[in-house]
Amino acid sequence: MLYRKVEKNGDELSVLGYGAMRLPSKNGRTDEERSIKQIRYAIDHGVNYIDTAIAYMNEPLVGRALQDGYREKVKIATKLPPWNVKNKEDIENVFKVQLENFNIEYIDYYMLHGLHATNWKKMIELDVLTFLDRIKKAGKIKNAGFSFHGDKDTFKEIVDSYDWDFCMIQYNYLDEENQAGTEGLKYAAQKGLGIIVMEPFRGGNLTRAIPPEVQEIWDKSEVKRTPAEWALRWVLNHPEVTCVLSGMNEEEHIEENLKIADEAVPNSLSKEELDIIGQVRDKYRELMKIGCTGCRYCMPCPSGVDIAKCFEMYDSSKIFPSNKIETQIMYALSLGVIHGKPAYASNCTKCGKCERHCPQELPIMDLLDDVSGDMEGVITKIFPPIFKTYLRFDKYRTDRRARNM
């Protein structure tokens, strides 16, 4: 296992982190025995960073996996959900419950979960930075950070707003320009933040159901690798990246990732290898229906439409059609619930403001009609209310537990 140093605190993190968002399941429930075995196996082979979140509903399980001497071998990372806190007391309550979930005295890496312009504003209004200062001084967390899903300007604004130790960004060879992107990666790295990368496989899309046109390019490479290895090697080729998370719920994936993590030295990919990845990237872009670059010059939209996100999800559903239902559910949850205010394509009132700012000269209003026709319907009607009800119930349960502590 290779390790990379976090400049801010000197921690040596394994280049491969264990992403606990998608643990193995059996009969529709998390398979606890297998999950614990897998987590411990990864730690026994050098992984020392475990990432979860209260929203993944498995903090207690991860806590149990880290009993029997494993807790001392790893850094635990978890997150505060901005979408499920309304006031300062809620923030305190969630944190108290999280410590109890893991049954630990402190959290090593604590993040504000999934920041973007809207929920960042809410976090500032709730004075979350003072809260982070306080729990850090009290030794309840060792490092403060945030995970991010917004635009580049907001990313830089957040990086500059606090003495963060680390951040977590979505990064893969298709998302160099999206969200924080390469620009954000370099910006945070030159400020000394540890950088944890999530979604190296774009939610599994870069490793499952590979389009034949893409497979043809991989096949012609002299160096033979699986699509997963190409994707991980590309992320870890960046010296700015500290650790990449992989949601490893199959034993063979763990083995493969551990092997890659033994070899992925920064700047080790040759010009020819980078060229093959570049060809694959271009092919995926060619397969995209819309071709939005995610620059976000068209935003903000006065009606709240997250134009770039709508196009990104629509394109994903076209390139990776086998995952269409999953993408539609993600569209409903991320734009209908997590975002704060609904940001669906159908919210467009056709004011025309955005089209004047698009360097690609995309007919945004017409394209949004295509997106809403294709992505919205029964799923956007059913899932958000169910999820909101669940969040209310979860908040009630958290408040009650915190009161009884």
Residues within the interface to ligand SF4 (CB under 6 A):
292-298, 301-303, 305, 307-308, 311, 348-354, 357-358, 360, 362, 364-365, 368
CB of 34 to ligand SF4, least distance (A): 41
Q: Residue 388 half-sphere exposure, CB side, CA atoms within 13 Å?
A: 14
Q: How far is the CB of 307 from ligand SF4 (least distance, A)?
A: 5
- The structure tokens listed for 193 are 């933040």
Select 47 or 305, whichever has its Cβ closest to ligand SF4. Answer: 305
CB of 357 to ligand SF4, least distance (A): 6
What is the closest distance, in whole angstroms, from the C-beta atom of residue 317 to ligand SF4 in the complex? 16
| Between 20 and 375, CB nearer to ligand SF4 | 375
Q: Which is nearer to ligand SF4, 140 or 353 (CB)?
A: 353
Q: Which uninterrupted H or E stretch holds 246?
A: strand 243-246
Nearer to ligand SF4, 228 or 301 (CB): 301
Q: Say which residue the tokens 């196009």 belong to.
A: 311
- Nearest approach, Cβ of residue 281 and ligand SF4 (Å): 16
CB nearer ligand SF4, residue 63 or residue 150: 150
CB of 361 to ligand SF4, least distance (A): 8
d(CA 86, CA 77): 23
Nearer to ligand SF4, 150 or 247 (CB): 150
Q: Which is nearer to ligand SF4, 237 or 372 (CB)?
A: 372
Q: In angstroms, give the least distance from the CB of 358 to ligand SF4.
A: 3
The phi, psi pair for 199, rounded to 5°, reads 55, 45
Pairing of strands 49-51, 75-80: parallel
Helix then strand then coil, % of the chain, to nearest 5 = 50, 15, 35
Q: Which sign, positive or negative, has the C-alpha torsion 290, 296, 297, 299?
A: positive
Following DSSP, what letter does each residue of 344-395 receive, concatenated? -GGG-----TGGGG-TT---HHHHHHHHHHHH-SHHHHHHHHHHHHHHHHHH
Decide if 250 contacts 257 (C-beta within 8 A): no
